[in-house]
Structure 1
Amino acid sequence: MTTVDDKSVVKEYFNATGFDRWRRIYGDGEVNKVQLDIRIGHQQTIDTVLDWLKADDNLTHLTICDAGCGVGSLSIPLAEAGAKVEASDISEKMVGEAKERAASETLKGSLNLSVQDLESLRGQYHTVICLDVLIHYPQNQADAMISHLCSLSESRVILSFAPKTCFYSLLKKIGSLFPGPSKTTRAYLHKEADVIAILEKNGFQIQRQAMTKTRFYFSRILEATRSAS
């Protein structure tokens, strides 16, 4: 049985056909109904996280790591709001697109974009964010990834993932029966209890949570803060 390297699959996909597909979804041009639904759902996740961070009224004092930043949908508005953001993605093309979208003198010094995989990230940040990345990796890899993200965080981790429930597992199975020319990477669902257990193992407790749900996009969002020693 051939072992699949999920990281290589993700990197190749988002530097090839996946890049064009998701750049359109994350943009504002014309897309089909399914892509529009995913665009709306993804933006709702971004807006939820932005609302959480802006409500705390301390963005100008924060250092933020945006792991798996894509085309900068979250990183750019965070930098525009005054946070100091280190953003990275495994895809060189995604980072290139993010740099084009962030081409503004006002963001110099506030936003740094780089091509890195999640495991190679280093440094310490007040808040570490990883949205819509875990869906590309199985549970055993997700455990290591979340634990590494926790090690980078001084105070808070915000994650989103596709929750594993009977209903969403059925939807995934139905969707796998209809592959198309723009078929994405394999989608992995994660049990919320498992994700919370990993966060707690690394010394974090859940503070806020939300669910984004449209017809074709679903994402559970968790905010966890480091427990007092």
Structure 2
Amino acid sequence: MTALDDKTIVRDYFNATGFDRWSRIYGDGEVNFVQKNIRIGHQRTVDTVLSWLEADGNLSDRSFCDAGCGVGSLSLPLAQRGAQAVYASDISAKMVEEARERASQIPNLNNIQLEVSDLASLSGRYDTVICLDVLIHYPESDAAAMLSHLCSLAEQRVLVSFAPKSPVLNVLKRIGQFFPGASKTTRAYQHSETAIAAALAANGFQVQRRAFNKAPFYFSLLLEAVRTA
């Protein structure tokens, strides 16, 4: 699979069956046990990011880029908490459409911009760049280039979460390969924490904090890296 192939797969999936599935997961309606577990796990990652950012006490003075915003699970509450500006994008037009609909239901939310864009096409400069649970859709061979681009957009800090390499995840992935069909999602890629940290360091960012969120059907390692050069 080339990067372009994976990008096309991700775009097509989240504009079709993937949107139906993940918009429910990121919503508050009825879901099955596995989906509920993923919802809880993802929300914990979002809550961790929000708590770290709020602890700084300077949201009103900071701009944020949420790369791969989905339906706005992070972007919308970040804007509601008074961020100076939130630029949120997703490769899926359906996801962005849903995020805009959710934003329209929040009174006086005028500090957020929602756009359809793939990660490589993002531009601008932001105090903090955030990319949650996106790298799982792309192979490790492309992660360094993706992180390099994200780092080029960040003035001060990058936060990224991904599925870390582990024996448990390897087993779950192998089991999933026995069940092909319409229920399958995009290809799931795991990433080495060492490799991710090295890619950040190569672009002048040093990991300062980490949080590992482990649940039966959701594994995510969150890294916060600050600019050192």
Using the size of structure 2 for normalisation, the TM-score is 0.96
1:149-176 deviation line (CA, Å, top 9, x unaligned): 0000000000000001222212211122
The answer as to whether partners of 1:212 and 1:220 remain within 8 angstroms in 2 is yes
Map of 1:110-149 to 2, 5 A cutoff? 110-149=111-150
Residue 103 of structure 2 corresponds to: 102
Q: Who is 2:201 aligned against?
A: 200
> What code does the residue aligned with 1:57 have?
G
SS of residue matched to 1:112: strand
C-alpha displacement at 1:49, in angstroms?
0.5
Q: Which amino acid aligns with 1:9?
A: I
- Give the 3-state SS of the residue equivalent to 1:141 in structure 2: helix
Cα RMSD after superposing both structures? 1.2
1:41, 1:212 within 8 Å by CA — same for their partners in 2?
A: yes
1:64 partner letter: F
Identity over aligned residues, as a percent? Answer: 64
Question: Aligned letter for 2:62?
Answer: L
2:21 aligns to what? Answer: 21
Corresponding residue for residue 42 of structure 2 = 42
**AA matched with 1:81:** R
Rounded to whole Å, the distance in 2 between the matches of 1:68 and 1:181 is 23
Instruction: Report the alpha carbon displacement of residue 143 of structure 1 after superposing the two structures with TM.
Output: 1.1
Q: How far has the Cα of 1:187 moved from its partner?
A: 0.1
Give 1:178 shift.
Answer: 2.5
Give the structure 2 partner of residue 215 of structure 1.
216
Gaps of 5+ in 1: none
Which residue identity does 1:107 align to in structure 2?
Answer: L
CA distance in 2, matches of 1:116, 1:99: 14
Query: Which residue of structure 2 aligns with residue 164 of structure 1?
Result: 165
1-side partners of 2:79 and 2:118: how far apart? 21
Letter paired with 2:145: A
Unaligned segments of structure 2, at least 5 residues:
none
| Structure 1 runs of 4+ with >3 Å offset | none
SS in structure 2 opposite 1:34?
helix
Letter of the structure 1 residue corresponding to residue 70 of structure 2:
G
1:108-146: CA deviations, max 9, x gaps?
1x0000000000000000000000100000012111100
Counterpart secondary structure, 2:136: helix
Counterpart in 1 of 2:72?
A: 72
1:51–1:180 distance in 2 versus 1, CA, 3 Å: farther
What's the CA shift string for 1:24-56, capped at 9, x where partnerless? 100000011010000000101100101110111
By how many angstroms is 1:63 displaced? 0.3
One-letter code aligned to 1:220 = L
Q: Give the paired residue count.
A: 226
Distance in structure 2 (CA, Å) of the matches to 1:8 and 1:225: 31
Q: Residue type matched to 2:227 in 1?
A: R
Structure 1-normalised TM-score? 0.96
